[in-house]
Amino acid sequence: MSHENPAADLHLHTTASDGQLTIEQLPAAAHAGGVEVVAVTDHDRYHPELDAPVVERDGLTIIHGIELRVDAGDRQVDLLGYGVEQTPALTREITRLQEDRVERAREIVERVEDETEVIIDIDIQDGVGRPHIARAIDVSDAPYDYQGAFDELIGGGSPCYVPRELPSFDDGVAALKSACDVVSLAHPFRYRDPAGAIELCADLDAIERYYPYGFPVETDLLDSAIEKYDLLATGGSDCHDTRLGRAGPPRDEFSRISDRISAF
């Protein structure tokens, strides 16, 4: 769900992972989206240009965050960490995940090239993910556009798909809590069993309540979890393009979140 007047957009991706915005472009994008604070939550990595848990850039407050996918046994979920400090525990996990991302991307590309008999031109480096591969397939001579690449080649169950080696839920939470002031469950209604995913919040600080799903969600489940587990209500656009401010916590909710981030 979204909110009409978010004070902050606490879920976005930059060119450090699979987004389109650079740090330099964030202030203008945030201004256009009507938000005063953003959180950069790139996948499985620190942002190399953010050297503190909270920084200012051209009048914009940027919270250094991270998004980590974890294996909770019967499900995979995404966790968001806010106010990141570089700790040994999280750095070890990030290093392992980035090595896995690079090895996985190379294997996927090899499979795509074998499947299509087309050379895929892609620079494989830290932060690489399937969206990068899909974009490279789209501009290659292979007969697939971006979405077709996911649907026919590299999506789950497709011939060129390679699974990731994820940290366990407990290990991921421990690594994030060693480094972050707030750890939140991301987009609970994007999972097959939202109620089951929400139960994991017993071990977390927050849940992503404000999110642009594009379909109705059971907000009562979220509000019940917030009350039951004494959670903060985070939120953001999950921006991978350049449009910020589509969702996020209102000012009173964000005030509670910022109070928990020690760098504020």
Average pLDDT of every residue of the chain: 95
* Mean pLDDT for the stretch of residues 57-84: 96
Listed residue (205, 185, 212) closest to 197, CA to CA: 185
Above 60 in pLDDT, residue 2? no
User: In 10 A of CB 218, how many CB atoms?
Assistant: 14
Residue 4 to residue 2: CA distance in whole angstroms? 7
- Spatial neighbors of 205 by CB under 8 A, at least 6 apart, are 182, 183, 184, 231, 232, 260
Cα separation, 83 vs 25, whole angstroms: 21
Whether pLDDT at 27 is above 50: yes
pLDDT digits (tens, 9 = 90+) for 35-61: 999 999 999 999 999 999 999 999 999
pLDDT at 65: 98
Answer whether 0.75 is exceeded by the pTM. yes
Rounded to 5, what percent of the chain is helix, strand, coil? 40, 20, 40
For residue 3, the model assigns a pLDDT of 45
Work out the average pLDDT over 143-171. 94
In this prediction, residue 4 carries a pLDDT of 59
CB atoms closer than 10 angstroms to residue 61? 17
Percentage above 70 pLDDT, the chain: 98
pLDDT digit string (tens) for 5-20?
Answer: 899 999 999 999 989 9
Mean pLDDT score, 77-100: 95
Buried residues in 12-44 as b, exposed as e (16+ CB within 10 A): bbbebbbbebebeebbebbeebebbbbbbbbbb
Q: What is the pLDDT of residues 171-203, one digit of tens each?
A: 999 999 999 999 999 999 999 999 999 999 999
What pLDDT, in 10s, does the model give residues 96-150?
Answer: 998 998 999 999 999 999 999 999 999 898 778 898 999 999 999 999 999 999 9
Q: What is the pLDDT of residue 222?
A: 96
Is the CB of residue 40 less than 8 Å from the CB of residue 236?
no
Mean pLDDT of the 73-93 span: 96
Tell me phi and psi for residue 62, to 5 degrees: -115, 120
